[in-house]
Structures are given as structure tokens and as C-alpha cells.
Structure 1
Amino acid sequence: MRSLGPLVESLKGQLSSDAQILMKGDEGYVEGISRWSRAAEREAALIVYPTTPEDVSKLVLFVKEQRLDFAVAGGGHGSSGASSTQNGLSINLSKMRNVTVDPVNKSARCQGGALWSDVDTAAFAHGLAAVGGTVNHTGIGGLTLGGGFGHLTPKHGLVIDNLLEAEVVLADGRIVTCSANQEPDLFWAIRGAGIGFGVTTSFTYRLHPQPNRVWGGMLVFPREKLEAIISFANTIVTLDEENALLLLAFASPPPAFQPAVLVPVFYNGTEAEAHAYFKPLLDLEPLANTTTEMDYVEVNGMLNEPMAHGLRRNLKGAAVMFPLTYSFAAEVYTETEKFLLETPDAKHTMVIFEYIPFGKILKVGQQDTAYANRGAYGNLVFGASWESQETDTKCREWCRMMAQKTKAELERRLKDGTDEITKDGVGAYANYDGANHEAGNLVYGVNYPRLAALKKKYDPENVFSKGPNLVS
């Protein structure tokens, strides 16, 4: 490996005075390469913390000139390793987290390294809210560029459907603003395939008036209640439902770590309204019930504990048609229970069916953005979580096998017919699809040809190559 001293000196002379450069052995280096999934961590030769878009531009040109591998880290919340680099240069955006709210125009301009907790807190101070992630220590960048689901999706659509503008550093170092009126092709591309087109240094989101109090929490049930839970959950995913959602999770929660059915719930309204809506579920007498009325700013922290940093993790996603059949859900439960019992190291694993009403998602056409996963279905994510590196292969193979089973079930259900938008959906949420670098056509479906053409325009040398492949 080449000597780092000259590289560091060269960089110092180019960057802002408050930008920071770290090498292995420096204080803060270990924290700088840490990621949400420990299995996604790599030892970068250099970690650079830019503070301005101009810094990012100079870094992009620098890695090109030096022929260095590089990766961009925002929240570092993916499991694919796309935000890490082995012996390359890590561009860490965590010093770029400023959020500026415009309460008059109901929008927020957020730097690319912001977390959803930053956005939620800033917007809430003005009685507003953004469509953001369901785990608030997630970075805004990765979630947005891949599509983005949140608690407000039933009412306002995907995160990308609420993106007004973005500032992007391109492969040639240019800093451009894209929106519906400026660089519209680029704006189309980053809404679903943004990882392949540049470093997004700011996002401007549409904000929405938000009632101060909402309702949510976790319900825990024994396996015997699964059929009744599914029967109720299937009533939620209607085209006109805007206030409710639930997640159906199979896991072995502490302290007993015994397999159970977990149901995180959310209602965008008062506790009384929520109790009336969720009465059939609450009447099933859960073993545990943490639901309560809360400020909206607290909602996206409900899942922070089970999704905490510190474990090795792998996410693999697929899609399930609604209404979900009890027979398929029971099969997934049985397979999950078997895996948990056979793999004690993976006791923190969760399998989650996302019951998010899709009416607003389908208001946008499949080819109106690069995101090609709009459909009358929901995400199913297999989230293996474990501690020992020796368990890596087993956990990843199990997630892959279960995703393949789910895809086969989706294809079987699609044969029964569906709507015009769903028939072109890929049934694969890129943010849940792990290290899928080879198959851009599988992730982007009908939008792949246009994306491949735009890739040649904006990044002909494939500088941004960490995501699904767009080079034909």
C-alpha cells in the first residue's frame, strides 16, 4: 500500500480548515469506521470528514486522480457494506447535519449527513413533520435515495415523493442542484437510484402539518394468535387508509429470547381514536403492551432499541402480496423459529412484514421516478442479527434462502392478476436488498434502460459503483 503521508498533506491543503482527516491509529478512527452492522465495517486507509459541498467535490476529484476506492457514509445504516471501503478513502458526512426549516413554505433543507432524528426534532418545533424513517438513528441519505418508507407514508407517500430538491456532487466534481425544474433527468434518477449518480450533500423535503399527539407502541403475542392478527392486519392495507399502519414481526425478544409475534403499531390520531381502530387487535389480549399516546417526534424512536448499533446484521428484502395468506405467514414463522433455535448466536434476528397502506404510493406512476417498486404489496425484510463472525455465512445464506421463497410466493400470487402499476413493480426494495451489485435491471425494472442511459451522461466512468450495477 502506498505511503499515506503525502496524500494527507495534499488533502489538507485543499479542504476547509474545519474538515478532519484520520488514519488508522488516530483518536476517533475506530468510531469513524463503525457502522450500524458490524459485519459491514471495513478498515479505510483514510477517513475524511468534509464540512462543505466544496470539500466533497475536491474529495471526489482526489479519489479519481489517485485511483482510490472510496465510499460515502451518512448514517452508515445499511448492511451491504456500500458505506465502507477496505484500504480506500471514507467520505464521512457526519459533520454535515444541519437542518433548516422554512415554516412558511413548509419545507426543510437538510445536509446530507443528517439523521432522521435531526429532521424530526427541527420540524416538530414548528408543528411540522417529514416523511422519514421508522428508526430515527438512520441517515437521511441512504433511505431517501433508495425510496423511503415511514410512519407518514400512508398519508403522504414515500420519502422521494416528498423530495423537492437536492444538491449533488457529480463524478466530474460539479456541484449541481436538481429538482423538477433544474436538471430534471438527474432529479428523476436520484429518486430511487441516487447511490449511482453522485454524493448528495443536501436534501430539501416537503413538510406537513402534524398533530402534536399520536399513538403507538409494541404488542407481543403468542404464536397461537397469528391467524387472528393477520386477519385484522389485512384490513389495514386499503387504498384509502391514511392514519394507521402496523408491522408484523417474528422474533425472540429479551429477556427470555423465546420466539413470539411482535406487532409494532402506529395511529396518526388520539389514543381514543387508536383504541377504537385497533380494538380487534387489542381484544386478542397481548402478552405485553407498550402502546401510549406520544408526541410525533417520539414515534420514530420506538424501534431504536431492537435496531440498535453493535451487532452484525444482514438485511434481505422481498415483497408480499396483500392480503397476506395465513399459510405463507405460518411457513415463514416456522422457518424463523427453526433458525432461531438452531442458531443461538442469531437470537436478535427479526423478520418483519410491513403493513403500510399503499394508496398514496400508487398515486405516483412506476416510471415517474427511478424507484420501480410501487405496488399493491408490502415489504418483507429478513433481518438476521448476530455477534460472531463465524456465523456470517449461515445468517446471510438463511436470509437469501428466505427471500427467494418469498419471491416465488409473490410470482405465484401475481399470476392471479393485478393493477397496471403493480404488474411492472420489481418486488424488491433496494434499501433492503443487501449487496446486490450485479443486477441493476432486477432492482430498477422498467426504469433500468433510462437509468443506464443517464449513467453514461452523468457518470460515464462509473465512479459511483457501490450500488446496483447501472453499466450495461
Structure 2
Amino acid sequence: MRIPIDPALAKELEAKLDSTTELITPESPKYEASLSRWSDGAVKRAGAVAYPTTFDGVSALVKFASQHSLDLAVKGGGHSTGGTSSTTGGLVIDLSRMRRVAIDTEKKLITAQGGALWEDVDDAAIEHGLATVGGTVNHTGVGGLTLGGGFGWLSGMYGMVIDNVVAAKVVVPDGRILTVSDTENSDLFWAIRGAGHNFGVTVEFTYRAYEQTTPVYFGFLTYTPDKLTAIVEALNRRFDNSDPRGGAMCVFAQPPGAPSPVVNAVVFYNGNEKSAKEYFSELFDLEPLNIAAGEMPYNQVNRQLNPLARPGGRKSLKVATLASPVRPEYAVTIFEMLMEQLKEEPDMASTFISMEFYDLAKISSIPPDATSCANRGAYRPGTIGLSWTDPAKDDAFRAWGRKIQAQCIEWIKQSDKLPSPGQALQYANYAEPDDVLNDPFGVNKQKLAELKAKYDPQCIFDKANARIEVPN
């Protein structure tokens, strides 16, 4: 049983910390700001919030929390809508003062501290003509996205984020700072690539980087809803016979002040405008209402979706998995469900739903048991991005999101694209702890449970979108 941290324990902890680690308690004028999260619904009133700046500082905090069975949470970017980076009465380790990024141009490696945001990584890398697979919103933390798998605009070329991690440093419950890689603590290295939130605090990641010296093409094509079937058909044809340099999203969202949602095709191509327009020619031929796209440096791409993901308000992210090719009638049904919901619930006007399209060959070429992430195969991840303001509607709106989740899983069960044994349909990063409809670890579940018993038998790290339980 995890316990809260009382004032006496907080004083005892503070006495053990070095001078570079700041401890914030409810009496501090900084306390309220320390609780802030991307979603107001994820805010919890911690007993203490610690801001380490060194690996040793994190180690001291983890060791103390373990010894005293404290309820422990770790905050990177703070984007968890399920509240897994927060605790009621417990200790938060906030990594936001550990954002250093180093570039090794000779070996083409990026080393980022666990509190870095994707903008830190993107901006540092592009200065050296490099890039790596990162998030599609750049104010998210590197830790959360990486430890759960990670899709991004470069996934068609280089796979998931975890496929590009070559090493990491992890603080495990007894306070040890372990270097993990294919040759050192390889079992833990395997585990953190997909289920990493369950095993410790990852204070450093080393990513493989790739040359990215030329601009890319990116932007938004907006359509009336009657074009949705044709858009999905065009995306299916494009990405079932794909070039890994491309990526796209089909996004349903209601523009500010508009009476109903519209359909957006968000397009990415790692090349020039002429090549991009040839690649997406079918989408341009559908005569969008508006085109806002052009060439830009790669590090600017992951800023473009930030307006869809502004902090504040109450939020919930959920996964909507669809088999590839996506059946247009399913997309139409989801759009109609959103349109009806927004009519009935104006408080949800900022809600969006997206379907992600990447070339799947690279991602699917890696076996589900090569890393702990079993969410690979002929499936398109989608996001149900719920957003509202009224706390009284939390349960109802989350339940509506789960309804779409369940419908998507049912469609897959009725299709000829059934998952292979051990393959997962649930992407852990788009889940919340209470709504995992399909185990995201599939064939890896038993091995993960055994490693959990080895590294964290007391389940100190029990705040994850998809939790690993210690076997009885």
C-alpha cells in the first residue's frame, strides 16, 4: 500500500537532498504552480513536489520513496490525461529542470535528459542537420512518448521512437542508476521500450539520428464533410502503395466559431513541394476549401499541431484503432458520432478525432516481441482527443470516448484483419489506466510481469497508462 508524504517525512526527505534539488510543499508560494498539468483534469494535490537537476538527485528521491512506500509520480511533459504524472498526497519527481540535449555529429546520436521536451530535441538536432523520430506535438515530453512506443512524421522511414533508442539511463526503485542497452542490462532495455513507465525513472535517452539538411513539406487541407469518403479512399491508396517519406492524418475538428466539424487532411512529405504535391495529388484533386501548406525546416513541423493541443481545460486522450485499409464507412460513422455529440454537448467544441497514416512497412518489420511494444501490424492508430471544461461531465465524456474505442475494436473483430496471436491493438500512449480495452503488451505480458518482479517487486512505479502487475 502506497502512503502519502506528511510534513515530518517531507522534512526528513529534504535533509537527505543535495543543494541542487528543490522540494516544494503545500506551504510554499510555488506549490500551486507545481501542480499544473496539460489537462486540468489531471491536477492532483501532491504532498510534495521535488525538482532534481542531477541523476543522483533523482536516485535519492526514488530511494527515499521506495524505503517509505510513498505514493510516487514522475512528471516529464505532464501530458498524461489519466493523471499518471500526478499524485494525491504523495511525492512528485518533476524532471522539468533536466532538459539538456547533446548532439554527437560523428556518431549521429542525440542524448536527451528525461525532462526534455521534443522541441528541445528537434531544435538541437536541426542545428547540426539531423533529426530523429519524435512526437507530432513538440511541447510533449520525450519520456512519456518514448517509453510508450512513439509514432511520428518520420516513422515511415525510421520506425517508432523506441526503434531509434540505442541506450538509456534508468533509476530503479532501490536507487541504482542503470545504463541499459542491447549489451548492458539488456532485459530492462527491452522492457522500457514500450512499457517503460512501469520500471523506473528514465533520466536519459540516447537516440539514433539521421541527416535532415533539406526542408520538408507540411500543411493542412480543409474539406467539407461530403468529401470524407473520397479522402479516406485516397489515403488508403496512397499509403497501401506508399513511399516511406510521406505521412498524413485525417482530422475531424470544429473550427472556432464554426457550427459543425470539418475534415482536415494533415500532410507531411520529407521532400520538396513539387514532390509532395505529386505524392498527394489525389488529395489536391479533391479541391480543398483551404490549403495552408508549404516547405519548412523539419523542427518547425512539430509546432504546427500545437494549436490542437493547447494546455488548459479538461482533456482525455483515447486510442481508436482501425484496420488498414480504413473502411470509409467507418470513418463516416465516427465523424457522424462526433458531429452529433458536439450538437448535444457544446462544452466539447474543442474535441477532435484523428486517424494517422504512415507507411507501415518499417514499423511492421520489427517483431512484436523485439521490444515490449506489441502494437505493430496492419493497423492505423487514431486519437480521440476529448476536451471540455465542466468537471461534472468527466465520467460521461470519457464514457463517450470509450464507446468509440469499443466500436473500433468491434469493427476489427468483424473484419478479415484479425490480429496475429500476441499482437496488441491498444497503443499505450493513447490510453488511460481505466480504459484499456485490449492489452497493449500482447505476447510480451508474461515476460514483463517477470521483469516487474525483478526490478520493482513492490510496485513503486504503479502510475502508467497500462500497468504491469507483479505475478502472485
TM-score relative to the length of structure 2: 0.95
In structure 1, what residue type is equivalent to 2:452?
K
Is the CA contact 1:74–1:94 (under 8 Å) kept in the aligned structure 2? Answer: yes
Is the CA contact 1:238–1:359 (under 8 Å) kept in the aligned structure 2? Answer: no
Q: Secondary structure at the match of 2:322?
A: strand
What displacement does 1:438 show? 7.9
Residue number in structure 2 paired with 1:351: 353
Q: Does 1:453 align with 2:455?
A: no
Residue number in structure 2 paired with 1:259: 261
Residue number in structure 1 paired with 2:180: 178
What displacement does 1:289 show? 1.6
Residue number in structure 1 paired with 2:273: 271
In structure 2, what residue type is equivalent to 1:470?
E
Aligned-partner Cα distance in 2 for 1:438–1:395: 16
Higher mean Cα deviation, 154-163 or 252-261? 252-261
Select 1:55's aligned residue among 40, 49, 57: 57
Is the CA contact 2:110–2:206 (under 8 Å) kept in the aligned structure 1? Answer: yes
In structure 1, what residue type is equivalent to 2:229?
E
Aligned-partner Cα distance in 1 for 2:243–2:221: 21
Residue number in structure 1 paired with 2:111: 109
Q: Secondary structure at the match of 1:178?
A: strand
Higher mean Cα deviation, 98-107 or 234-243? 234-243
Aligned residues: 467
Aligned-partner Cα distance in 1 for 2:230–2:435: 39
Q: Secondary structure at the match of 1:237?
A: helix
What displacement does 1:470 show? 2.5
Residue number in structure 2 paired with 1:250: 252
Aligned-partner Cα distance in 2 for 1:201–1:144: 12
Q: Secondary structure at the match of 2:221?
A: strand
In structure 2, what residue type is equivalent to 1:410?
I
**What is the CA deviation profile of residues 380-439 of structure 1, one whole-angstrom value per residue up to 9, with x for unaligned ones?**
2211111111221121010011100001111212xx256xx8554211000101124888
CA-based RMSD: 1.7
Pairing of 1:160-199 with structure 2 (within 5 A): 160-199=162-201
What displacement does 1:239 show? 6.7
Residue number in structure 2 paired with 1:23: 25
Select 2:440's aligned residue among 438, 443, 461: 443
Pairing of 1:12-411 with structure 2 (within 5 A): 12-238=14-240, 241-411=243-413
Mark the CA change 1:97 to 1:289 in structure 2 (over 3 Å): closer, same or farther: same
Is the CA contact 2:69–2:460 (under 8 Å) kept in the aligned structure 1? Answer: no
Q: Secondary structure at the match of 2:250?
A: strand
Higher mean Cα deviation, 12-21 or 373-382? 12-21
In structure 2, what residue type is equivalent to 1:435?
P
Q: Secondary structure at the match of 1:24?
A: coil
Mark the CA change 1:90 to 1:341 in structure 2 (over 3 Å): closer, same or farther: same
Mark the CA change 1:68 to 1:268 in structure 2 (over 3 Å): closer, same or farther: same
Is the CA contact 1:239–1:358 (under 8 Å) kept in the aligned structure 2? Answer: no
Residue number in structure 1 paired with 2:468: 469
Aligned-partner Cα distance in 2 for 1:300–1:116: 8
Select 2:426's aligned residue among 425, 428, 437: 428
**What is the CA deviation profile of residues 308-338 of structure 1, one whole-angstrom value per residue up to 9, with x for unaligned ones?**
1012111111311111111111111111111
Is the CA contact 1:196–1:470 (under 8 Å) kept in the aligned structure 2? Answer: no
What displacement does 1:270 show? 0.5
Unpaired segments ≥5 residues, structure 1: none
TM-score relative to the length of structure 1: 0.95
Mark the CA change 1:360 to 1:302 in structure 2 (over 3 Å): closer, same or farther: same
Over 6 Å off, 4+ runs: none
Mark the CA change 1:256 to 1:172 in structure 2 (over 3 Å): closer, same or farther: same
Q: Secondary structure at the match of 2:440?
A: helix
What displacement does 1:199 show? 0.6
Is the CA contact 2:76–2:141 (under 8 Å) kept in the aligned structure 1? Answer: yes
Is the CA contact 2:146–2:161 (under 8 Å) kept in the aligned structure 1? Answer: yes
Is the CA contact 2:323–2:417 (under 8 Å) kept in the aligned structure 1? Answer: no
**What is the CA deviation profile of residues 77-114 of structure 1, one whole-angstrom value per residue up to 9, with x for unaligned ones?**
12111100011111100000000110110001110000
**What is the CA deviation profile of residues 29-69 of structure 1, one whole-angstrom value per residue up to 9, with x for unaligned ones?**
22211111111110111110011111111111211233321
Aligned-partner Cα distance in 1 for 2:243–2:5: 59
Aligned-partner Cα distance in 2 for 1:97–1:22: 20
Is the CA contact 1:437–1:469 (under 8 Å) kept in the aligned structure 2? Answer: no
Is the CA contact 1:108–1:204 (under 8 Å) kept in the aligned structure 2? Answer: yes
Mark the CA change 1:121 to 1:206 in structure 2 (over 3 Å): closer, same or farther: same
Mark the CA change 1:239 to 1:206 in structure 2 (over 3 Å): closer, same or farther: farther
